[in-house]
Amino acid sequence: MKNENQISYDPLLGDDDPAPYKVLNHDGDTPLLLICDHASNRVPKKLAKLGLDDTQLGYHIGWDIGAAGVTQYISEKLNSPAVLCNYSRLVIDCNRQPGDPTSIPQVSDGIVVPGNQNLSEEQQVQRTEGVFWPYHHAITEVGAHLWRKGKAPALFSIHSFTPELMSRHEDRPWHVAILWKRDPRLAAPMIEILSRKTGLRVGDNVPYSGWEDAYCIDMHGAAPGLPYCAIEIRQDLINTDDGVREWGEILCDALNEIMQDTSIFDVKHY
């Protein structure tokens, strides 16, 4: 039965558009679920690049540069499943609550996004139904598939950040940062291990905070009582294949060390 209050919309993705998400190593059995919310700068054909050019979509406003490569490296090296969003954060930010003005930004780091101006509710729902909810449903299903094998998995969310935010004239000197809220099981040892690396400047909830930008880790980590954290790697460190491999190795070593303590896999709500 159709709900009279249900919002109607045309499908966002056409037959020639890729799926809204990508799953890597679906049957990996390490109790570690990797997610990458801003893995791609792709835009559905229907949205005509949102009125931007390829150069603009290639900036940090379009995606988390290098994050997808690091996610893939860890997935392969640690035999861990991974779920990556297949569309740009400018289409819809999968790490924001739908309806929040930052969910579909009209301006990002000083760049106006023409295709995001004055959207109707139907157009916004088209994006949540086309990309946002399928991505989150995939995380839930892949996580459940992993959990059914035994241990409750840890959730590790992989992001990158620009060295300089132009609109605020803000320099970001950290090499890497850990975002978390309440549950320290994954975050605290990760900060401690990365801080051992000579010359690394490690941020704790900077330049973004797990108390503020935490939709995914709240939904898929905190709510079910899984150990979790998000990592932010400075983009100039992972914008080459060599950088991706280096940071992939650093994080694989850290995660392997952390997972030696099997008590972190207990379901626990903070």
- DSSP of 168-187, one letter per residue? GTEE---SEEEE--S--TTH
Residue 9: predicted pLDDT: 80
Q: Which residues contact 16 (CB under 8 A, 6 or more apart)?
A: 45
For the record, the structure tokens of 26 come out as: 């679906």
Q: In sequence order, what are the beta bridge partners of 156?
A: 34, 229
Q: Which of 108, 135, 128, 126 is nearest to 38 (CA)?
A: 135
Residue 170: predicted pLDDT: 67
Neighbouring CB atoms inside 10 A of 28's CB total: 21
Residue 167: predicted pLDDT: 58
Are 132 and 94 in contact by the 8 Å Cβ rule? The answer is yes
Residue 3: predicted pLDDT: 60
Residue 1: predicted pLDDT: 47
Residue 2: predicted pLDDT: 52
For the record, the structure tokens of 157 come out as: 């969310």
Are 94 and 136 in contact by the 8 Å Cβ rule? The answer is yes
DSSP code of residue 185 = T
Residue 258: predicted pLDDT: 98
Residue 70 parent element (H or E): helix 67-78
SS3 230: strand
Residue 83: predicted pLDDT: 99
Residue 57: predicted pLDDT: 98
Residue 168: predicted pLDDT: 63
Cα–Cα distance for residue pair 266/246, rounded to 1 Å: 31
Cα–Cα distance for residue pair 136/235, rounded to 1 Å: 25
Residue 173: predicted pLDDT: 84
Q: Which of 258, 249, 186, 198 is nearest to 222 (CA)?
A: 186
Residue 166: predicted pLDDT: 64
List, for residues 171-212, the tens digit of each pLDDT value.
Answer: 778 999 999 999 999 999 999 999 998 889 999 988 777 778
Cα–Cα distance for residue pair 88/37, rounded to 1 Å: 9
Residue 229's φ and ψ, nearest 5 degrees, are: -170, 165
- Half-sphere exposure at residue 266, Cβ-oriented, CA atoms within 13 angstroms: 9
Are 94 and 37 in contact by the 8 Å Cβ rule? The answer is yes
Residue 161 parent element (H or E): strand 154-161
Residue 169: predicted pLDDT: 63
Find the helix packing angle between 241-258 and 187-195, rounded to 10°: 120
Residues of the chain with pLDDT under 70: 1-5, 166-170
